[in-house]
Every structure is written in C-alpha cells, then in structure tokens.
A = this chain, B = another copy of it.
C-alpha cells in the first residue's frame, strides 16, 4: 500500500505545484486589469498557499491515462479556481463566518463582502472559461469538451458541491444521521475531487474501463480527504492548519469523528485509500503518482 520506494512524491508534487502556479499566474487576469479590486481579490485567494490537490489530480490522472500535463493544464486550473471560489463563499458572514483561512484574513475581511461575493462569482466564471481554452490542446477530441463541461458543472452544482454545502449549513447545530453526514462529505468535497480525476482521464481519451477505475479511485479519495480533514480539525493545531483547531467542533459543525469517533474515522479513511489504490492495480508505473497521492491524502498533517 505504500508508494514504490523509487517514486519521490515530494519532488513530483513540488514540480506539478510549480507548473500549476505558473499556469494560474498566466491564466488569471492581471491584477491591474479593470476593475483592479476584483482581480486583486481573485489573486489574493488563489495565491494563498493552497496545496493544488485538485489540479494535480487532474494532471496525475491524465498522466496515468497516457497523456501529458500540457494536454490538461487549463482544465486543471479550472478546478483550483472553482475550489477557491467555494472557499471564499463558504467563509462569508452569511455562511461559516470565518475570519481566517490558511492563516490569513479571509477575502471579505480584506476586500469587503460585496467584492468577496463577486470575486467568488468571477473565479467560477473564469474557471469555466478555461475549459474552453482546453479545446484543441494535445489529445483532447472536440467531442470531449461538452462531456467535460457537463461533468464539472454537475460536480460543482447542486448535484455535487453546492448541494453538500446547502445541507451542511442547514444542519449546523442539529442532530443529524450518519447518512446525512455521508451526503455532505461526498457532495461538498468528494464530488469535485472525483470529477478532477475523471476529467483528467477523459481529456486524454481514457476508455470506459480505465475511466471506471479512475472513478472508483476518485470516489474513495474524495471521501477519505474530507474524513482526514475532520480528524485533523480535532487533532491539528493552528500552526499546521492555519485555522483554529477544533473550530468545526466549537461551531457544532458536523464531523466524521463527532458521529463515528476518532478510531473508526481513521480506520474508514485508511480503508478508502486502500480501495483507491486497489482500483489502480492495472496501471503500473504510470499510476504511481496517483497511488502515492492517495497515501498522501491519508497521511497529510495539513
């Protein structure tokens, strides 16, 4: 279950992160473009030290399916912009009302609520603009783009991420079932992670069998990621998480450990990551980054 001894995940992540950061810099409107304040706000949140997990998953899936980073970069960046928009809107006073994110003041604390809302809207809009730029790149067939657009907008919409967020905010402070918790986690976080993996493979022409394997992988690490996030919130500290540890608990946010306990939560995450890695047995060396990323999702401390 551990990554191959010969594979250096840290070096892989550092190289991909650098490539993603350069692409984001290129694809985002310059901060001086009219009107500057909204472009500054977009960049403030995008360049706030994110892990770039979602774009790296797009890239790693494309590589596992025989493609290359350059074939999928605009769409990889789309996932980071959509993720960032969701954080800005989640942090708003009307939602989670968070003052800090990754150790820095949240968007609305710096730019005001109106600009924060609009910066989120703009990141979603511009993210999907980037999907159009993926037309004609590398191995991307023209008839793939409508499928990719449909997949991303479903994962980011009410059947996915927004649906999870709606149920999450409506459940705060109420007793909820483990089914509801599972719904929130698989939708709010899981849907976009699963879509990142699937879209990366789709863009480089993965066949249906391979796509099924990627779907299982994405499904499992999507849920594992959120369970680990909950565990870290209980165990973590401000230093590593950039937010106050236990903050979800204090807000009576529903978490996996609060419903299932810590040991069962950790066991479930480990099992999910095992299943994710097992789905990729057919991929040999090309699947090594994805397998190592699954282990990273489980063992991360931030």
Contacts and interface: CB of A to CB of B under 8 A. Distances in A.
Interface of A: 29, 33-35, 37-39, 42, 85, 89, 92, 94-95, 112-115, 117-118, 120-122, 124-126, 128-129, 131-136, 142-143, 145-147, 149-150, 153-154, 156-159, 162-163, 165-167, 169-170, 183
Contacts of A39: 158
Given A89-B121, A121-B89, A126-B158, A150 B132 contact: yes
Contacts of A35: 158, 163, 166-167, 170
B165 A149 contact: no
A248 to B, nearest CB: 17
Give 9 nearest A-B pairs by CB, closest first: A135-B146, A94-B113, A129-B153, A132-B150, A132-B149, A125-B157, A142-B142, A132-B146, A35-B166
Nearest to A41: B166
A145 B143 CA distance: 9
Nearest to A169: B114
A27 to B, nearest CB: 12
Contacts of A85: 121
Given A146-B135, A149-B149, A166-B37, A129 B117 contact: no
Given A94-B112, A129-B154, A117 B89 contact: yes
Contact of A143 (B124, B135, B157): B135
Nearest to A38: B166
B38 A118 contact: no
A95 B146 CA distance: 34
7 contacts: A35-B158, A89-B121, A122-B162, A125-B157, A129-B149, A136-B146, A145-B146
Contacts of A147: 132
Given A94-B113, A117-B92, A163-B38, A129 B157 contact: yes
Contact of A149 (B92, B118, B128): B128
A162 B118 contact: yes
Nearest to A28: B158
B117 A157 contact: no
Given A117-B89, A135-B143, A149-B131, A38 B158 contact: yes
B166 A29 contact: no
Contact of A125 (B33, B142, B156, B183): B156
A34 B163 contact: yes
